């Protein structure tokens, strides 16, 4: 009698189906193991004046005495300081509501934790990551990695690190410079609650990496806008009679923002136009190469604009302060611009010409102008119109003749104790009140 055919799949077919199911479900399993419904860390609240003052001090102490000169530099941070700077970095990148991070130092080891909110729906989901680094031949080496509930196998981890090192060894300019920066680190020491980094400070290398990082955030369309504004600046400078040594900053602001207004009327985004106008003018006023914004290849095709000294209240440095801070505010936000502004003055008080409330006033004007010029489409258009029709520098800049400038660090501390004291905070508030009363900002400030 004939036997009935078996209804069970043969072993090879069953095995094949099992493998296919595993392959198809593996990403889902990894995703489920990686994502959790609660954060391992909670984002902290806004910074206090004392914390901001401490951050300024840390930035000041972390900067070489002569940043433009090659030297050996050593940096020391404890866990609290490292976490404060990390938290501030997250804040200035506008990630503070969704990101939280923390580090912990122990003998020979650094542990870093990070929690990221995924989405903003009713169901909260979080990516929690914990990484362990150890000292290895004067370098930090990733030794362990956990993503959610899943520990990354060490073999896979080392394979990935090796691929990253191989990528950095390519001939790509950015990769080569990052490799040089890593190689400039002489030693990293991890002790109980303290990290010490010794490195060779190379100002040219730092500048190149900074320029490359800046260019990552400039689109091809923005590059063309920058080239257009640079052409306007070139024409303005070329039209100045040869017997005139310097001109008011208004001679550049008015035509640049007239052009921005025309581009907006033609359908361009006013915020983008205002931002690129400030970026381009800052390059010119600081006598820097346009290559910083558009790269060496594109810059090689552009004739450098003829130099003419640009002043604000008859001072070149005030014009540079205002526009540079406006460019930083428009590009990276007011918080970072203000932090860099006060840290720069503290640096001058310690090492150079002294703390200047006049410089600080010009910086604050730059922040205010750029904040309004990029606050929203309608306000951006109003600022274009007002900047295009400037009459006097006093429309936006208070007089600074009564300021006591050139304060050494000792003199500053004798007057204000530190930059978190009520006396100093009140002085800053007085300066901002003077700025807010200027006609350029009438009706626009909350």
pLDDT in tens, 366-386: 999 999 999 999 999 999 999
**What are the structural domain ranges in the chain?**
49-207, 218-441
- The pLDDT score that the predictor gives to residue 3 is 52
| Residue environment code for 426-440, b if the CB has 16+ CB neighbours within 10 A, otherwise e | ebbeebbeebeebeb
Cβ atoms of residues 130 and 111 within 8 Å: yes
Q: Specify whether the CB–CB gap between 350 and 276 falls below 8 A.
A: no
Using alpha carbons, select from 169, 161, 199 the residue that is nearest to residue 183.
199
What are the phi and psi torsion angles at 375 (to 5°)? -70, -35
Closest CA to 363 of 338, 386, 393: 338
Mean pLDDT for each 10-residue chunk of the chain (446 residues)?
Answer: 53 67 58 74 80 87 86 91 89 78 92 86 81 85 86 76 64 70 88 91 81 74 94 96 95 98 97 96 94 90 94 96 94 85 84 90 96 96 97 95 83 83 89 95 90
For the entire predicted model, the pTM comes to: 0.81
Q: What is the pLDDT of residue 165?
A: 64
Given this model, what pLDDT does residue 155 score?
Answer: 78
User: 3-state class of 135 per DSSP?
Assistant: strand
In the numeric block, the tokens 């000292």 are attached to: 135
Q: Do residues 256 and 274 lie in contact, with contact meaning Cβ atoms separated by under 8 Å?
A: no
Could you read off the pLDDT of 33-54 as tens digits, one per residue?
Answer: 677 788 888 877 788 888 888 8
């Amino acid at each position: 009698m004939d036997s009935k055919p078996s209804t069970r799949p043969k072993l090879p077919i069953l095995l094949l189906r099992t493998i296919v199911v595993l392959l198809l479900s593996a990403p889902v399993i990894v995703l489920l193991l990686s994502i959790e419904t609660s954060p391992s860390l909670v984002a902290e609240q806004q910074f206090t004046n004392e914390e901001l003052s401490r951050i300024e001090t840390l930035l000041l102490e972390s900067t070489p005495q002569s940043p433009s000169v090659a030297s050996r530099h050593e940096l020391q941070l404890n866990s609290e300081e490292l976490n404060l700077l990390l938290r501030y970095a997250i804040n200035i990148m506008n990630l503070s509501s969704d990101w939280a991070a923390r580090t912990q130092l122990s003998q020979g080891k650094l542990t870093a934790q990070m929690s990221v909110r995924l989405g903003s729906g009713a169901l909260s989901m979080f990516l929690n990551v914990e990484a362990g680094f150890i000292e290895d031949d004067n370098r930090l080496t990733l030794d362990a990695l956990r993503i959610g509930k899943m520990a990354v196998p060490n073999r896979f981890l080392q394979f990935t690190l090796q691929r990253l090192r191989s990528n950095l060894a390519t001939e790509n300019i950015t990769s080569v410079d990052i490799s040089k920066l890593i190689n400039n680190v002489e030693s990293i020491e991890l002790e109980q609650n303290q990290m010490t980094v010794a490195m060779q400070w190379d100002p040219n290398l730092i500048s190149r990496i900074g320029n490359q990082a800046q260019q990552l955030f400039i689109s091809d369309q923005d590059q063309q806008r920058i080239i257009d504004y640079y052409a306007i600046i070139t024409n303005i400078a070329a039209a100045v009679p040869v017997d005139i040594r310097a001109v008011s900053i208004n001679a550049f602001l008015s035509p640049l923002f007239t052009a921005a207004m025309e581009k907006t009327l033609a359908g361009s985004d006013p915020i983008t136009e205002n931002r690129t106008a400030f970026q381009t003018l800052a390059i010119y006023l600081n006598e820097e190469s346009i290559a910083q914004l558009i790269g060496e290849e594109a810059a090689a095709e552009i004739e450098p604009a003829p130099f003419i000294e640009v002043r604000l209240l008859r001072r070149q440095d005030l014009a540079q302060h205002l526009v540079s801070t406006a460019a930083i505010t428009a590009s990276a936000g007011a918080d970072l611009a203000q932090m860099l502004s006060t840290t720069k003055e503290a640096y001058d008080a310690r090492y150079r010409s002294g703390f200047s409330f006049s410089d600080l006033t010009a910086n604050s004007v730059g922040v205010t102008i750029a904040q309004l010029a990029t606050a929203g489409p309608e306000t951006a258009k109003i600022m274009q119109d007002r900047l295009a029709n400037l009459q006097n520098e006093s429309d936006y800049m208070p007089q600074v003749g009564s300021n006591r400038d050139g304060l050494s660090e000792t003199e500053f501390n004798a007057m204000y104790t530190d930059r978190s004291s009520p006396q100093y905070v009140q002085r800053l508030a007085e300066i901002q009140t003077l700025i807010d009363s200027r006609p350029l900002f009438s009706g626009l400030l909350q």
